[in-house]
Structure 1
Amino acid sequence: MSAELREMAESVFGDAWDNSTDAFDAELWKTVEQTGLARLTLPEEAGGSGGTVSDAAAVLTAAGQFAARVPLVETDLLAAWLLHAAGLEVPSGPLSATVAGNLSIQPAAGGAGADVSGTLRRVPWGRAVGAVAVLAGEQVLLIDTTGAGVEEGANLAEEPRDDLVLNELTVRHVADVPSVALVEFPLRAALGRALLLAGAARGAVAMAVRYATERVQFGRPIAKLQAIQQSLALAGAEVAAAAAATEAAAREVDKHGFAEASFAIAAAKARAGEAAGQVARITHQVHGAIGFTREHDLRLVTTRLWAWRDEDGSEAYWNDRVGARALEAGADGLWPLLTGTP
């Protein structure tokens, strides 16, 4: 199923490619809703497509490759999953999700829901989504963004990262945090971001290869120059490494669940982040000065590489966890840990 999904996703996201704006793509969102990609891993009984994490990996890699301007990770892997796990109904439309520890939550008048005050910091796609699933201490909140103030912000790729200001906002949909959420939420976010990184790296190298074959210098395409060939080969190896790590992590999740796959996810996010730096550097070197212009398509993927590598945990953060797990496993347990064997 993943191969067919990848082909469909590449067609959907490729057709929506647009370098003239960084705003939320409402038309693309309609398409991903109609094709069942928006809530791919949500169970069918909850309104989703019932897909696997490996299926989501195929879709998210394609979304990263074509710089899709829609909140797929936030809607499917995070918000829809969290709300469903907490026993809350999953609303339609684009969603976001965040963790907040500084909210004031008081019982609402009449005992239905809660009155919430505080600020949700750097909510992905905050201005574009209809609701945000919030993991707040021991509670899960579904917050309607129409009742929140919006202080617009953005990451390096100019994707919305907005502060949502809540002033005694009455929230009707409140539930206790499911026990799995505290462990699983950051792992889901990291894997989703790693898959987007792997896709963006693939997209950047594809652009560089195409440019190198078209750009003629000294009477021949620059792709014929040994230095360019070596650089593109190195970038291709980085793309392959990121793809191998992220796809392996997705398979581990399908087999054992997110908690058991935490080592593979940590390695995937760290490796995809490392690849992001190398690929962005090499592809800009191949393009030369033109690749740094705002009008050039390359910036759509490289700015995402630079932004996403630090979101949901940097390489240093996840490498620290890889190292801790390796030390915990000890000499006898290291090889089984690396290979996934008993």
Structure 2
Amino acid sequence: MDTLLEDALGELFRHVTSGASPGLEITADQHKKISNEIYASGFADLLLPQAAGGSGISLYEVIALLKMEGYYNVPIPFAQTVVTRVWAHTHSVDLPEGSFSYASSALQIDAQTRSATLHKAWHGHWVDHMLIATDQQCFLAHSHNRRILQAYHGGLFAAVAWPTQGLTRLDLREQATHDLFHLSVFAMLAATVGAMEKTFELTLEYAAQRQQFGRPVSKFQAVQHQISEMAEHVCAADMALQMAAATDGSAQTAPGSRALAIAQFQIAHIADRIADIAHAIHGAIGISQEYPLHHYTRRIRECKSCFGSAQYWAAEIGQHILHKNNDTLFAFLTSAQDEQMTG
């Protein structure tokens, strides 16, 4: 992919986040300004075909751009909005303008208060619109009639409630619902891997600068081992993400369930280890409000299992294997990409 897009989006994200706090504690006015600048730029339409006003790039090619949400700790669901817009175009779903988030969890409906509550809504306190999949149905909820029950300090999630009459049920085909879930998982993974890469960079920089016993801590063998392990995990996460995006070359084709399950398992499995190593090397400074590290590791930990834990996705992989006759685990894992490209 042409790096001009990467450079332009990186410069935009640096600009819009430069005046915000290092975490996600921003005012409503700051959030609105950031959101308006990003979506006025047209980057939300990255995956749309050129005939529809987009850039026409593939899902694989857009990975570097989606990862920037996590890398720059952008306080809006940029990656989710990008994939939602191409999903809506592909399945002819009429959606309003603005940013989108997605939730695939139990929506608690209270008949007495005529309200619907989502206790873990990704960017629920900021996003313009939320798509909520539950019980084979999908609802569209808007920001103008939501009620914030609890916003977690410095976090990405909030408990949100809407009046039931404020929910719009979308009449979707099964394939559309399936594709929305897979694209949403992919968007979350991309932002998480971006945060992992930034965490690794911060750790390398700190280890090279921090002096102990007259030399940088990066010169100590034990620290070098930890950094090497961290590098291995971050690289593996990125490779798994790339495999999940290796579809037929079209941005309108959602990732396959098998490759996506492998990617989600890999990233969820190693997320805590990456965060743990980063904080072990940084020491106490890593959790200070002024230093950005803990804002990235919080994102990594919060997002790692938003759509299911490592155990859940391991079970999904196991089900795939059990339905393959005369196939080994190694053959299953190494053939995931080839089968997705041809299927």
TM score, norm. by length of structure 1? 0.83
Q: 2:160 aligned with 1:163, yes or no?
A: yes
Distance 1:202 1:138, change over 3 A: closer
Give the distance between the partners of 1:301 and 1:25, measured in 2 at CA.
18
Partner residue of 2:128? 130
Give the distance between the partners of 2:311 and 2:215, measured in 1 at CA.
42
Amino acid corresponding to residue 257 of structure 1 in structure 2: T
Amino acid corresponding to residue 258 of structure 1 in structure 2: A
Distance 1:301 1:27, change over 3 A: same
CA contact (8 A) 1:42 1:50 kept: yes
Amino acid corresponding to residue 19 of structure 1 in structure 2: P
Which runs of no fewer than 5 residues in structure 1 stay unpaired?
A: 105-115
Q: 2:260 aligned with 1:257, yes or no?
A: no
Q: How does 1:41-120 map to 2 (within 5 A)?
A: 41-43=47-49, 48-78=54-84, 80-81=85-86, 83-84=88-89, 87-99=92-104, 117-120=115-118
Q: 2:155 aligned with 1:152, yes or no?
A: no
Distance 1:287 1:160, change over 3 A: same
1:123-178: per-residue Cα shift (whole Å, max 9, x none)?
22223233333445565543332123332333x85123231221433x6x654112
Partner SS for 2:247 = helix
Amino acid corresponding to residue 70 of structure 2 in structure 1: G
Partner residue of 1:143? 141
Give the distance between the partners of 1:322 and 1:69, measured in 2 at CA.
32
Partner SS for 1:192 = helix
Which runs of no fewer than 5 residues in structure 2 stay unpaired?
A: none
Give the distance between the partners of 2:117 and 2:169, measured in 1 at CA.
17
Deviation at 1:199, TM superposition (A): 1.1
Distance 1:152 1:42, change over 3 A: farther
Higher mean C-alpha displacement, 132-141 vs 203-212: 132-141
Give the distance between the partners of 2:105 and 2:156, measured in 1 at CA.
20
Identity %: 24
Partner residue of 1:184? 179
Distance 1:285 1:245, change over 3 A: same
Partner residue of 2:11? 11
Amino acid corresponding to residue 290 of structure 2 in structure 1: E
Distance 1:143 1:332, change over 3 A: closer
> Which of residues 202, 206, 212 is equivalent to 1:207?
202
Give the distance between the partners of 2:248 and 2:154, measured in 1 at CA.
29
Deviation at 1:121, TM superposition (A): 4.0
Amino acid corresponding to residue 122 of structure 2 in structure 1: P
> Which of residues 271, 280, 284 is equivalent to 1:276?
271
CA contact (8 A) 2:117 2:159 kept: no
Give the distance between the partners of 2:276 and 2:268, measured in 1 at CA.
13
Amino acid corresponding to residue 34 of structure 2 in structure 1: L
CA contact (8 A) 1:151 1:165 kept: no
Amino acid corresponding to residue 64 of structure 1 in structure 2: G
Partner SS for 2:159 = strand
Partner SS for 2:60 = helix
Deviation at 1:202, TM superposition (A): 0.8
1:275-313: per-residue Cα shift (whole Å, max 9, x none)?
312211111111011112232210111111111112111
Amino acid corresponding to residue 31 of structure 1 in structure 2: E
> Which of residues 33, 42, 47 is equivalent to 1:27?
33
1:12-48: per-residue Cα shift (whole Å, max 9, x none)?
3334254154337433323321332223224456665
Q: Give me the CA root mean square deviation.
A: 3.1
CA contact (8 A) 1:329 1:337 kept: no
Higher mean C-alpha displacement, 232-241 vs 45-54: 45-54
CA contact (8 A) 1:267 1:318 kept: yes
Give the distance between the partners of 1:214 and 1:101, measured in 2 at CA.
47
CA contact (8 A) 1:10 1:62 kept: yes
1:72-99: per-residue Cα shift (whole Å, max 9, x none)?
2332223x35544553433222222334
Amino acid corresponding to residue 163 of structure 2 in structure 1: L
